[in-house]
Amino acid sequence: MKYPKSTSFKKGWREIPQGKVKEFTEKIKRKLGISSGLAFRNRRDGKVEHTVVECQLIEAVFAEYGVADPWGE
């Protein structure tokens, strides 16, 4: 894994099927150890710099939904 230029994962977020968004969001929050919607949105929007380990966790959850490259606006 190469550290992404953009820490936003909005691009991948748009590829998640509408019926799976809530499930996906909860998985990401659980993996990153966050509980609030605001903390999730700040990470999704790239306002928080992810560590390399967090990037790997995020990519793993996206991979479960068939999204290979989630990084970007």
Q: Quick one: average pLDDT of 29-53?
A: 93
| Nearest to 67, CA basis, from 8, 5, 32, 16 | 16
Tell me: pLDDT of 29 over 70. Answer: yes
Average pLDDT score over the chain: 91
* Mean per-residue pLDDT, 1-13: 79
pLDDT band at 7 (very low <50, low <70, confident <90, very high): confident
Alpha carbon distance 17, 56 (integer Å): 21
Residue 9's SS3 state is strand
What is d(CA 55, CA 12) in angstroms, rounded to the nearest whole number? 13
Please state the rounded mean pLDDT for residues 12-40.
95
For the segment 17-44, the average pLDDT, to the nearest whole number, is 95
Tell me phi and psi for residue 25, to 5 degrees: -60, -45
- The Cα 40–Cα 26 span in angstroms is 9
